[in-house]
Amino acid sequence: MSAGPLDGRVVLVTGGNSGIGLGMARGLAEAGAAVCIWGRNREKNARATDELRSSGARVVSREVDVSDEQQVVAGMRALVEELGRLDACFANAAISSGQDQPRFVDSTLDQWREMVRVNLDGTYLTLREAARVLVEQGEGGSLVATSSIAARFGSPREHAYAATKAGILALVNSLAVELGRHGIRVNALMPAWTASPALDEWFENPAVAERILPRIPLRRWGRPDEWAGIAIYLASDASTFHTGDVIRIDGGYSVF
């Protein structure tokens, strides 16, 4: 492999075994980074690891439920022990609303708390442990959290999902200010309508396409590989003065 902008760097991508997470992990690996994938599904982890290693990159994976504090702490410790350090962390793992979510008036507190537990608590735990490593190393670094346009645009039956994604934006703002003195930059990604196993069936629904695609100026769904470039940028020296931002990649949906 020729030298890449991320040679010698170690990057963690949670939820990196499919969808946007895998798209980012693929780009990071091809740019020269050693990549660690966290996911709850062992088989998906293995498939993603094999795929990424085919490019010659150093890739490891670990079964981690980001909503479990002990698993996150142990996973971060194992990452540093195996790969030697950490330079960037993409807190991307989440569960989506799906097609079977109840109306707000029929929803339950347990359903609400499950979404918060994985999406918001999981992001908090991941970024906290990554920040501890970066502060101790004393060399700065990059923290990135995946939000969603659901944080800004209303959608029926997505009350819990949207609330967690909005919370991530507030968390990123706070951390960008607090961690800046350590040379750690913190940003959020705001994706929309990107193909993934969790959404493929939904995208195939003609009613969905008829309602949403006309609102996307590019007139198509996003692809996971289109997240590689922004991941490389945020993990590299190209973004060393870029922090506290929300980077929207949505095919123009938000401006139309």
Amino acid identity at 47: R
The rounded distance, in Å, linking the Cα atoms of 64 and 134 is: 20
The rounded distance, in Å, linking the Cα atoms of 159 and 111 is: 11
Residues with active-site annotation: 148, 161, 165
Residue for token pair 């504090």: 69
The rounded distance, in Å, linking the Cα atoms of 179 and 21 is: 24
Written as six digits, the tokens of 82 are 């195996």
Amino acid identity at 88: A
Show the beta-strand stretches assigned E in 76-197.
Answer: 88-91, 141-146, 184-191
Triad 160, 163, 168: Cα angle to 5°: 130
Question: What is the radius of gyration, based on Cα positions, of the chain?
Answer: 18
Bridge partners (DSSP) listed for residue 35: 11, 59
- What count of other Cβ atoms lies within 10 Å of the Cβ of residue 20? 27
The rounded distance, in Å, linking the Cα atoms of 230 and 101 is: 31
Written as six digits, the tokens of 37 are 């994938």
Amino acid identity at 128: R
